[in-house]
Amino acid sequence: LVVTVPATAASRPVVVAHRGASADAPENTLSALALASRFGADMVEVDVRETRDHALVLMHDTTLTRTTDAESVFPRRAPWRVADFTLAEIRRLDAGSWFGRAGRGQRVPTLREALRAMSGSGLGLLLEIKEPRLYPGIEARVAGELRRAPSWPAAGRLVVQSFDWGSMRRFARLMPSPAIGLLGTPSAADLPALAGFAGQVNPPYQDVTPEYVRLVHRHGMRVFAWAVDDPGDIQRMISGGVDGVITNRPAVARSVLQDD
Ligand code: G3P
Ligand code: CA
């Protein structure tokens, strides 16, 4: 399998800004994506969910409460699940004030807006479909959105990932061109079947050892470790042979790579 991630000089590991440059800007907002580019990331990771009217939006959590002001704007709509709100309602929310004054006024972006905002940046995209079982048919809607922006899959700048491997198998059938990432740490016994449709295994960095990286590589897949922010841990991942580090601090990862 050929994994389509952005080419990097001398095949150094890819730096992926987790939820954008999320240590320095509110996660999954356009400002976090722009900052990732300024910090020298190669790719940006975003989380995608679906609204009640089937719009695709960037949001990590099942509910809107942690990263927006939904509770004060819609006080009677507990438990504030993304799936219970229309896009028009979600557009009214402030998605940045929770992060501090600098984030004030950020809105919840749609996937379409994020693709548009990133299109000229040269950044790659690691698109996570969050809890697909909550949004039946989301794989087809994500594929449809990506077909509207054909430069993404065609240019090999895109990886689609999920913790739900069955969903990723469905996605690969719908849209063969993006590389598929499997979140988690599949066992040696699972890897042969998974390698039939996936190009990456993306485990939590705590699970990553040089032996595990070699095992995944033997099946023709790459390894991106998440979410690794400490310079010593980043160095350990690089020495262990990972192909990418998914980090909230892309500038730190770039400087570790420079010193390597
Ligand atoms: O990209 C890996 C990572 O994002 C998975 O965990 O909870 O941050 O979406 P989470
Ligand atoms: Ca994620």
Q: By C-alpha distance, which of 214, 215, 219 is closest to 239?
A: 214
* Contact criterion met (CB below 8 Å) for 135 and 84: no
Beta pairing class for 179-183 and 124-129 = unpaired
User: Ligand 1 atom 7: the closest Cα is on which residue?
Assistant: 60
- Total structural domains in the chain? 1
Predicted local distance difference test score (pLDDT) of residue 8: 43
Contact 19, 45 (CB under 8 A): yes
Whether 3 is covered by a domain: the verdict is no
Cβ-based neighbours of 171, under 8 Å, separated by 6 or more:
129, 139, 142, 143, 160, 162, 180
Ligand 1 within 6 A of CB of 246? yes
pTM: 0.95
What per-residue confidence (pLDDT) applies to 152?
81
The pLDDT value given to residue 9:
40
Whether 48 lines ligand 1, by a CB cut-off of 6 Å, is no
- Give the structural domain span for 184: 9-62+109-259
Answer yes or no: is 99 within a domain. no
Q: Is the CB of 18 under 6 A from ligand 1?
A: yes
pLDDT at position 260 is 80
Asked, as a colleague might, if the bond just before 79 is cis with ω within 30 of 0, I would say: yes
Query: ipTM for the complex?
Result: 0.99
Q: Which amino acid is at 87?
A: L
Domain contains 101:
no
Q: How far is the CA of 118 from the centre of ligand 1 (A)?
A: 20
88, burial (CB in 10 Å: exposed 0-12, middle 13-18, buried 19+): exposed
Residue 2 counted as domain residue: no
pLDDT in tens, the chain (260 residues): 444 444 444 479 999 999 999 999 999 999 999 999 999 999 999 999 999 999 999 999 999 999 999 999 999 999 999 999 999 999 999 999 999 988 999 999 999 999 999 988 889 999 999 999 999 999 999 999 999 987 887 677 899 999 999 999 999 999 988 999 999 999 999 999 999 999 999 999 999 999 999 999 999 999 999 999 999 999 999 999 999 999 999 999 999 999 88
63-71 long-range contacts, CB within 8 A, separation 24+: 64/90, 64/93, 66/98, 67/26, 67/27, 67/28, 67/95, 67/98, 68/93, 68/94, 68/95, 68/98, 68/108, 69/93, 69/94, 69/97, 69/98
The Å distance, Cα 122 to ligand 1 centre, comes to 22
Residue 159 forms part of a structural domain: yes
Residue 161, domain member (yes or no)? yes
Atom of ligand 1 nearest to the CA of 16: 1
pLDDT at 3: 43
- Is the residue at 190 inside a domain? yes
The answer to whether the CB of 128 is under 6 A from ligand 1 is yes
Query: For strand 14-18 and strand 244-247, is the pairing parallel, antiparallel, or unpaired?
Result: parallel
- Residue 47 inside a domain? The answer is yes
Residue 26 belongs to domain with CATH number: 3.20.20.190
Residue whose CB lies within 8 A of the most ligand 1 atoms, among 183, 185, 207, 243, for a mutation test: 183
DSSP β-ladder status, 43-50 and 56-58? antiparallel
Kindly give, in sequence order, each residue whose CB lies less than 8 Å from that of residue 57, ignoring residues fewer than 6 positions away.
48, 49, 50, 51, 82, 87, 90, 108, 109, 110, 111
